[in-house]
Structure 1
């Protein structure tokens, strides 16, 4: 057994072991899958969300918050809970039924404005949450996928940020008619497959390449009347960051963005992104197949609608931190499709 997998299988939590066997190695027998699923269901965070469900399966918290349904489905999906599990299925069923009321809370007004303005708000987030659970074959999700593709098409037409923005007081705002992708658009396309014909794949690659050229992208707001609304631009500002200047929180955003870009299958076609994946592979290669940088920031370990990557219960143990960061590294290397022929040799 290679060094990386030996370390992971000896030290990692059930979620990481399950996802590596199911998602990366594509080999897990029925009995082992059942055993790991049973262990994952006993995970403290998984249990906390399941216990919050009311009789219908809904969680009576702000939808777009760390305690609400959006985060719950994101966490359960990341942990490895299947969409057909009764608790997950009831959450998804309620989210689909509550077409006009699901986003009650902080998103209720601004989410609708962002939908109306074409930037993607409540409806985009709702669709994206379903794709966390591997579901895309619903009409309302397909509609949002088309909207997301339109936003990425628009990016290709932009040669400089100044062409799509103007000053409003001390902020930059989008001018009328602009469509612009958010982190939810990136997630939506990363976790879905049906849109991936050759034409769309080439278009998305060209669009991401343009976002690389436009980086770093400043904070840009949406104006409604006199109200400034921040679209979900988390992780969407800089596609070619200077890694040498990273603080720990920057590493989390880099991991998350690079995983999504790898899932999109665009990395190997864009040299600036290939360099980032090569850099990650080199870190593993020089450290016995492990990502052992001493990173510590709540962006990794606290789960919410935007943040959270750690599947281990905490990072009080160095081994748990290494398992989480090595797992995320493996996902990036696997989905980037850059190491298909020499995967074992390169990484382990």
Structure 2
């Protein structure tokens, strides 16, 4: 059901930073990025303090930060820039994508993360999954081998999910942790996200298959309160490493009490991560629209950000803050308002 977010959009266009205003125009109002005022906004974005912080981490050969995955990793910096409104076509982004796919450059950097090689070898997706995920967000051609192969692997995980009847079919409950069986196939966040951000696989048969796979995966996982980890084979050092786990519980129907529980959770990052998880969730993965409708209702009633506890607000800023300066209350409201609209508009539409 389409929503009238005009009041919130007008508020953002009047008060928000250039990065938010740009994304409202581009992603919600359908404004062409070729419009002169949009090009002007893009230049303002590149000058924002939080954007400059990322840009200063880019090395002369195009690599961002000191590693592939992590706080100072390629993924963090590139996705950070994109989330702040920097266009994927900007030279800084394209140079980074080229560095990532050029062995002579990537090999000079820490183009791996702990456990990534083992995850790749098992077929769950590790270093290669991170690389493909970055490329999928930068406008890269989908026939690049690593991207093409990770898309195929993601579809393989989806198909496999349809064969299972219980958690025990693809995971083992150890003494302390539940972990995936060797070479088990079951969708993770990397698989769902990669398919959400790519197009080449989207035939009618595949789309129907992934809808059924997510629906079935949700039925298997909706009552599971355990985190399924990954046990490294001995040749990779044994021990456990966290795979890219998908939060299946975000697919559950929501009522107001459920949202309040998220806001009041002792873990202050819960709201920010939950909002991040439901943002950009593709239509073939959604099981209901109740979460987005609830957020839209809270927004319309003026309950956000006032309803969000201070600790949860601070945690949200670390996860998804776009405003460079939170000393003004209006900046906090802009950040929350935009994040909620970014989640809701693609699902509910605009009147």
State the TM-score, normalized to the length of structure 2.
0.84
CA distance in 2, matches of 1:25, 1:118: 40
The 10-residue stretch of structure 1 (213-222 or 229-238) with the greater mean CA deviation from structure 2: 229-238
Q: 2:179 maps to which residue?
A: 173
> Mean Cα displacement is larger for which, 96-105 or 312-321?
96-105
Conserved? CA contact 2:88–2:139, under 8 Å:
yes
Give the structure 2 partner of residue 323 of structure 1.
334
Which residue of 2 is the match for residue 122 of structure 1?
127
- How far 1:267 sits from its partner (Å)? 5.8
Return the alpha-carbon distance in structure 2 between the equivalents of residues 227 and 96 of structure 1.
Answer: 30
Q: 1:300 aligns with which of 313, 316, 333?
A: 316
After superposition, give the CA deviation of every residue in 1:163-205 in whole Å (9 maximum; x if it has no partner).
Answer: 2222333111212341122222222122222222222222222
For the 8 Å contact 2:89–2:138, the answer to whether it is kept is no
**Counterpart Cα distance in 2 of 1:102 and 1:45:** 27
Choose the corresponding residue for 1:11, options 15, 18, 25.
15
Q: Which residue of structure 2 aligns with residue 72 of structure 1?
A: 77
Deviations 1:88-141 (A, max 9, x none): 221111111138737727x44510110111111000110101122233422321
Distance of aligned partners of 1:132 and 1:216 in 2 relative to their CA distance in 1, 3 Å threshold: farther
- 8 Å Cα contact 1:73/1:129 also seen in 2: yes
1:228 alignment counterpart: 240
Mapped contact 1:291–1:329 kept (Cα < 8 A): no
**Alignment RMSD, CA only?**
2.5
2:284 corresponds to which residue?
A: 266
Distance of aligned partners of 1:64 and 1:189 in 2 relative to their CA distance in 1, 3 Å threshold: same
Contact 1:235/1:253, CA 8 A, preserved across alignment: no
Report how far residue 60 of structure 1 moved.
4.8
The TM-score with structure 1 as length reference comes to 0.85
Is residue 250–residue 277 contact of structure 2 (8 Å, CA) maintained in 1?
A: no
Other-structure match for 1:305:
none
CA distance in structure 1 between the aligned counterparts of 2:246 and 2:209, rounded to whole angstroms: 22
Matched pairs, number = 328
Task: Give the secondary structure class of the aligned counterpart of 1:221.
Answer: strand
> Structure 2: 5+ residue runs without aligned partners?
none
Work out which of the residue numbers 133, 136, 140 in structure 1 matches 2:138: 133
Q: 1:322–1:17: structure 2 CA closer, same or farther, 3 Å change rule?
A: same
Question: Structure 1 residues 317 and 199 mapped into 2: Cα distance closer, same or farther (>3 Å)?
Answer: farther
Deviations 1:198-257 (A, max 9, x none): 222222222222233222432112222232121122645653274332124222122112
